[in-house]
Amino acid sequence: MKKSFFELMDNYEPEDAPEEYSISAENVKEIVMRKIDNHEGKAKIRIRRKAIAVMAAAATVTAVGVGAAAYTLGRSSNTAHKFFETYNAVSKADNGDLYASSRVLDVEDIKNIDANIHEENTVIESNGSTIELTGSMYDDQSALLFFTLTAPEGTVLDIDTDYEFADSMFDFEGSGYGAIGGETKFSDDVPGDNVINFTYELQYNGDGSRYAAKSIKGMHFQNLAVWDKMAWYGDEPKDVVVEGEWYVPLNLTEKVQEIELLDAPLEVSYQTDTETRTAVIDSLIISTLGIKTTETIDANYRYYYENTLKVVMKDGSEAEINDSRFGTPVDLTQVDYVEVCGQKFELGN
């Protein structure tokens, strides 16, 4: 195989640049923040950002959901759940009678969030505090784990404080500790007590690849601290709120229920610069954790294809979708319909 030295050197990893060139970090920061603001749109309310995966470059494409064009954010009480505060988009668009066709599916046994949470009962103690794994939800795209931390009596854990574990990593079979693409969210049932709940969402392994639930052995936590008081330099954060080291073994065995909404592949049209082409949506699968499609499309034209995917709730709001994941788990009993490329699918709720 013929390769140029240029191509060969694409694999080179230099230690340093050939010569130093000084630029202003402050100028760079200002420009970066401007670029980020432009990219995240004009909406004033901050959306908790998730890692975004790269689309696979192949004839079969797994699409990324695209949200509504113009919306404001507000809380949706119908989908609120004790573990989450749900922020769903209320569409301002007047859809009217847009749909060329719509189907009502008789979907049996649609489950709400509670029914999808697999109960766990693993309690680990360290230094007078406990971390309990109380539940898990997972599928092939992500895992959501529910924990409760109970500190010694007299310790006040307050949800208004920005907490962070000094160390929290997943333990994978074979490759050891990893998982950078995860996120911890704290919530609190009773303010002012010594108990706090938190969830951890995992989407990526430590090497950047998608996680595999069966490969997770456990999760390691160390020292709960206040984020603002954590030292950037040095090994230990200052002002640890709860001191301890916990290893919580994990054995994820029951996936959330997934529902296939298509009973046959669906042809959709899309426009390139010069012609109208056809893609085929082979599957449209929804669960309480997310929604995804798989499509067959000519790889040469995949950049023209945009999968417009919406999950509309009974109260008129839309579920936030990032990289086929819902921003927070969705109660499927409260979904009014799913819309993909102008085709509407009701869940029979």
Partner 1 sequence: MIKEKRIIKRIAAGDEKALELLIDIYSSYVGSVIYAVIGRSMTREDIEETAADVFAEVWLHPEKLREGKVKQFLGAVARNTARNKLRKRDTAISIDENDFLLFDDSFESEVDRHEKSEIINDALKTLSDAERDIFIRFYYYNQNSKMISESLCIPVSTVTTRLSRGRKKMKDFMAQKGWI
- Contact residues toward partner 1 (CB under 8 A) are 1-6, 8-9, 11-14, 16-25, 27-29, 31-33, 35-36, 39, 46, 48-49, 51-54, 164, 167-168, 180-184, 203-204, 206-208, 227, 230, 232-235
Nearest approach, Cβ of residue 116 and partner 1 (Å): 25
Token pair listed for 246? 């916990």
Nearest approach, Cβ of residue 111 and partner 1 (Å): 29
Q: Quick check: helix, strand or coil at residue 26?
A: helix
Q: Which residue has the tokens 């999950």?
A: 311
Phi–psi pair at 319, nearest 5 degrees: -70, 140
Q: How many angstroms from the chain centroid is the CA of residue 55?
A: 15
Sorted by sequence, the CB contacts under 8 Å of residue 109 that are 6+ apart come out as: 257
Nearest approach, Cβ of residue 299 and partner 1 (Å): 20
Measured on CA atoms in the order 328, 332, 333, 338, is the torsion positive or negative? Answer: positive
Nearest approach, Cβ of residue 208 and partner 1 (Å): 5
The string of DSSP letters for 174-195 reads: TTEEE--SEEEEEE-SSTTSSE
Toward partner 1, which CB reaches closer, 138 or 204? 204
Toward partner 1, which CB reaches closer, 186 or 345? 186
Nearest approach, Cβ of residue 238 and partner 1 (Å): 13
List, in sequence order, every residue forming a beta bridge with 281; answer none if it has no partner. Answer: 266, 295
Toward partner 1, which CB reaches closer, 13 or 275? 13
Amino acid 4 reads: S
Dist CA 46 CA 333 (whole Å) = 28
Toward partner 1, which CB reaches closer, 17 or 100? 17
Toward partner 1, which CB reaches closer, 48 or 92? 48
Nearest approach, Cβ of residue 65 and partner 1 (Å): 17
Nearest approach, Cβ of residue 310 and partner 1 (Å): 23
Q: Quick check: helix, strand or coil at residue 325?
A: strand
Toward partner 1, which CB reaches closer, 32 or 212? 32
Dist CA 117 CA 197 (whole Å) = 15
Toward partner 1, which CB reaches closer, 77 or 233? 233
Torsion of CA 96, 98, 99, 105, to 10 degrees: -30
Q: Quick check: helix, strand or coil at residue 274?
A: coil
Dist CA 133 CA 121 (whole Å) = 6
Dist CA 161 CA 228 (whole Å) = 9
* DSSP 8-state code for residue 124: E
Toward partner 1, which CB reaches closer, 114 or 167? 167
Toward partner 1, which CB reaches closer, 248 or 286? 248
How far, in Å, are 105, 159, 302 from residue 263 at the CA level?
A: 9, 45, 24
Nearest approach, Cβ of residue 10 and partner 1 (Å): 8
Nearest approach, Cβ of residue 292 and partner 1 (Å): 17
